């Protein structure tokens, strides 16, 4: 059973996704090490544009279509969670003017040689359309299919759809 995300965290992720539009936002949800549950929301900085400007060959996409967490920030997080006895539960990011699906680029990052890059970590994708966060979906590793699949139960619990009239504003 996956823990339900507190509504305040969902709002907080939506707020971050809207604030960083038209760039993708990213971050992590941490949990107590070796136990179930979640403990902390840890937004990260999307450095994709810096790397794209410096090295367009290896980083062909801009932050509108990709996210990249600086290795230094990853190191900071590793230090943080060692102190607090936490571990990474979920990596989240937003899609700019696209649905909350798991894209080929997401798969490329999440799967290394047929195995999860971060074993035990799920992925949360938030859709931001015209600057408004509309929904989020969780993707879990499917051992048999060797692929990430949308979590149907989490979808029911986590998805917050906003009505069409609000989207039009």
The answer to whether 92 and 115 are in contact (CB under 8 A) is no
87: contact with Zn ion by CB under 5 A: no
In the complex, least distance from residue 145 CB atom to Zn ion, rounded to whole angstroms: 19
Site string for Zn ion, 21-50 (x = CB under 5 A): ------------------------------
Cβ at position 109, least distance to Zn ion in Å: 8
In the complex, what is the shortest distance from the CB of residue 119 to Zn ion, in angstroms, rounded to a whole number? 19
Of the listed pieces 27-35, 75-83, 103-111, 113-121, which binds Zn ion according to CB under 5 A? 103-111
Which residues on neighbouring strands pair with residue 102, listed in sequence order? none
> Of the two residues 87 and 106, which places its CB atom closer to Zn ion in the complex?
106
- Which residue lies nearest Zn ion, judged by its C-beta? 106
**Of residues 39 and 103, the one with the C-beta less far from Zn ion:** 103
Judged by CB under 5 A, the residue of 73, 98, 103, 131 near Zn ion is 103
Q: How far is CA 68 from CA 32, 58, 162, in A?
A: 25, 12, 28
Q: Which of 136, 139, 130 is nearest to 164 (CA)?
A: 130
**Contacting residues for 40 by C-beta, under 8 A, at least 6 apart:** 29, 30, 84, 86
Which residue spans within the chain are E strands per DSSP? 26-32, 40-44, 86-96, 111-112, 115-116, 122-129, 132-142, 147-150
Q: Which residues bind Zn ion (CB under 5 A)?
A: 103, 106
């Amino acid at each position: 059973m996956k823990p339900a995300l507190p509504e305040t965290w969902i709002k907080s992720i939506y707020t971050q996704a809207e604030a960083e539009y038209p760039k993708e936002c990213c971050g992590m949800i941490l949990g107590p090490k070796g136990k179930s549950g979640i403990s902390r929301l840890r937004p990260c900085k999307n450095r994709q544009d810096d790397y794209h400007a410096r090295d367009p060959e290896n980083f062909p996409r801009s932050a509108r279509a990709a996210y990249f967490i600086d290795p230094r920030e990853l190191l900071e997080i590793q230090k943080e969670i060692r102190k607090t006895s936490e571990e990474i539960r979920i990596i989240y990011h937003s899609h700019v003017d696209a649905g909350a699906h798991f894209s080929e680029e997401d798969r490329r990052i999440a799967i290394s040689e047929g195995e999860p890059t971060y074993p035990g970590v799920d992925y949360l994708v938030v859709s931001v359309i015209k600057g408004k966060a509309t929904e989020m979906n969780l993707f879990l590793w499917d051992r048999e299919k060797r692929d990430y699949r949308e979590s149907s139960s989490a979808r029911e619990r986590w998805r917050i759809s906003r009505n069409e009239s609000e989207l039009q504003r």
